[in-house]
Amino acid sequence: MINHSKKKIAITTIIFIALLFIIVFICSLTISPKMTPKKRLADFEYACETIEASLHQLSDYEQLYGLNYNELKAEYAELILNCRNDAEFYYLMKAFLNTIPSVHTVTVFPDVGYYAQIHGYNSSQQTKRFGVKTQAEHFASALAEDACNYSEAKLYLSNYMDGKYYFLSDNADKIIEIDSINGREPDLFISHIQSIFKIGYDHINEKPFYSAVVFNDKYGEKADIRGHYIDGTEVEMPLYYSLFASDTVSWTSNDFENMKFKSGNSDPTDAYNLHIDNKNNISYISIGSFSSAAAEVIKEKVTLAGSCENVIIDLRGNTGGTSRTEINSLFVPLLTGNISFENTFSFDVNGFTRYITPKIADNDPIISETIEINGSIGVFSEKYHAVGESEKEHNLFVLIDHSTISAGDEAASLIQQYGLGTLIGNNTAGEGRTGSHLTAVLPNSKLVINYNFGYNYNMDNRDNSVYGTAPDIYVQNGIDEYIKKLSQENSLSYESRIEWDSVLAKALELINEKQ
């Protein structure tokens, strides 16, 4: 009897210890662990391993942009190992991925609500991992606290425009063109900064750029700026540059409601801006995204635009969305008969990409997707099927630039590939022909990163992720157009645009020649 009681006590003790161990284990997953330098570096190395295994284009980026990935990796590894806190770790991870031109390769802001909207092939599975919610709250709090350290700094936003950097103003006389920073060409200084903005490439001026640079008057590296006003008067601005002070403009999750500001787009388009000129048989519609939430509105506007024979589609600043919206809301209202498009891209098969599965259901009437694995190479095929609802043919003119990305790029690329219209502007940022992105959760910090994994070659045999989609006619707005824009009361309306927008003017010129 005594032995039986002891046995019972022993079993109870073992069960208690086991339950305690399980509770401690679960808590260790859900409670924010303290980020040591070793853990931060391990997360950085995991991100690098993910990128190196998935981004087939790294060497092509190096060739076009003049960057050296291994040197950047070593530089950021040192910075991350010695960073002062978790907020700085987040900033550096963000800046490192911004040096990689792939527009889908980014550090995602630590916001669980935003995680649910990133729509990669594996995003939902990744972000449901233990600890992501708690860690997101931890990092958001850390960023808010860190932002307070720089709240007294006055920020000076410089925008890139047609090959140069300017401090812009609503008053034309106060615009400052930057001539030098610390005695060097602006490009030489700016190309070595850690940026909250994604690097891009200007194919007209043949150089990489950041769409915006944020200086301040207190913190960071000295940036003695010399420039001049439009009347030639010289000006000196003793400022500073700091990644952390710059990021005070974007740390809050509310800023994700304005993605165009975060991407540095100084001239965002409006998805609902429609103008119909019946007299000249011309319609103009700007489409700022192919968001599924805006699908019905976009289709309604495009259908109205289709009442004219000549349709100008403005995809500048288009931040992407879904292929379904793109096909059903843009192509269906403007095309006649059966619509059949095909897009096939490749990817390297490895531990990160092996388990990719199509997102679209087998019975989807518009989009079908298949994957074939041939050894170390995977082939992802997308086929789009729909019936055009237009009763007449249209002359399509599509306006694009470096802020046309993802589904916006795909729409432009399909129009070019199938000979449906004329593209005008500058190269897109690409990655509309490489499917959606993948998502990874860093093992220690639980920060979320997105990364591109596919590669696809355009009609000119250049990688879509590197070169984007090239226009048929190159035109770009510059400072002269910006100054003209200032004189317009509602500068983004069609009536105002025809007074200052050179890209739109080129489309109208082509229409007049055709008529």
Element (H, E) at 296: helix 295-305
Dihedral pair phi/psi, residue 208, rounded to 5°: -75, 160
Q: What is the dihedral of CA 103, 104, 107, 113, to 10 degrees?
A: 120
Lowest mean pLDDT among 165-169, 369-373, 475-479: 369-373
Contact 170, 481 (CB under 8 A): no
Mean per-residue pLDDT, 45-50: 97
- Residue 286, CB half-sphere, CA atoms under 13 Å: how many? 21
What pLDDT score was predicted for residue 301?
Answer: 96
> Which residue matches tokens 């997707």?
369
CA distance linking residue 117 with residue 289, whole number of Å: 14
Would residue 257 count as lying in a domain?
no
Contacts of 309 (CB under 8 A, 6+ apart): 281, 392, 393, 394, 395
Element (H, E) at 311: strand 310-314
Q: Which token pair is 352?
A: 């990160």
**pLDDT band per the 50, 70, 90 thresholds, residue 270:** low
Task: Kindly report the number of other CB atoms within 10 A of residue 149's CB atom.
Answer: 13
Whole-model pTM: value is 0.88
Contact 245, 216 (CB under 8 A): yes
Sign of CA dihedral 181, 185, 187, 188: negative
Dihedral pair phi/psi, residue 282, rounded to 5°: -130, 135
Better-scored residue on pLDDT, 356 or 400 = 400
pLDDT tens digits for range 432-466 = 999 899 999 999 999 999 999 999 988 788 999 99
What pLDDT score was predicted for residue 19?
Answer: 54
Q: Which token pair is 465?
A: 């992720």
What pLDDT score was predicted for residue 483?
Answer: 95
Task: Kindly report the number of other CB atoms within 10 A of residue 366's CB atom.
Answer: 15
Which of the residue ranges 145-149, 257-261, 395-399 has the most confident prediction, judged by mean pLDDT? 395-399
Distance from the Cα of residue 59 to its chain's centroid: 20
Better-scored residue on pLDDT, 269 or 36 = 36
Contact 154, 248 (CB under 8 A): no
Q: Which token pair is 66?
A: 């003049």
pLDDT tens digits for range 388-440 = 999 999 999 999 999 999 999 999 999 999 999 999 999 999 999 998 999 99
Would residue 476 count as lying in a domain?
yes
Residue 79 has pLDDT above 80, yes or no: yes
Q: Which strand ranges, in their side-by-side order, compose the sheet holding 273-277?
A: 273-277, 282-286, 310-314, 395-400, 421-425, 473-474
Beta strands in 452-501 (DSSP E): 454-455, 473-474
Quickly count helices (H) and strands (E) in the chain. 19, 21
Would residue 256 count as lying in a domain?
no
Beta strands in 31-107 (DSSP E): 106-107
Coil, helix or strand for 302?
A: helix
Mean per-residue pLDDT, 278-294: 94
Would residue 228 count as lying in a domain?
no
Residue 332's domain comprises 273-436+456-514
Residue among 138, 408, 99, 217 nearest 107 (CA)? 99
- Please name the amino acid found at residue 2: I
Mode of pairing for the β-strands spanning 155-161 and 164-167:
antiparallel
**pLDDT band per the 50, 70, 90 thresholds, residue 257:** very low
Would residue 296 count as lying in a domain?
yes
Mean per-residue pLDDT, 164-181: 95
**pLDDT band per the 50, 70, 90 thresholds, residue 34:** low
Mean per-residue pLDDT, 89-99: 96
**pLDDT band per the 50, 70, 90 thresholds, residue 259:** very low
Contacts of 208 (CB under 8 A, 6+ apart): 65, 66, 67, 101, 191, 199, 200, 201, 202
CA distance linking residue 510 with residue 515, whole number of Å: 9
CATH number at residue 359: 3.90.226.10
Number of separate domains in the chain: 1
Largest CA distance in the chain: 106
Element (H, E) at 125: helix 123-127
Helix, strand, coil in percent for the chain, rounding step 5 = 40, 25, 35
Beta strands in 219-270 (DSSP E): 221-229, 234-241
What pLDDT score was predicted for residue 8?
Answer: 57
- Residue 89, CB half-sphere, CA atoms under 13 Å: how many? 28
Residue 208 has pLDDT above 90, yes or no: yes
What pLDDT score was predicted for residue 152?
Answer: 84
Coil, helix or strand for 320?
A: coil
* DSSP of 267-288: S---TTEEEEETTTTEEEEE--
Whole-Å CA distances, 480 to 442, 474, 501 = 45, 17, 10
Question: 392-403: buried (b, 16+ CB within 10 Å) or exposed (e) per residue?
Answer: eebbbbbbbbbb
CA distance linking residue 515 with residue 512, whole number of Å: 5
What pLDDT score was predicted for residue 21?
Answer: 53
What pLDDT score was predicted for residue 254?
Answer: 43
Would residue 422 count as lying in a domain?
yes
Would residue 288 count as lying in a domain?
yes
**pLDDT band per the 50, 70, 90 thresholds, residue 14:** low
Contact 87, 142 (CB under 8 A): yes
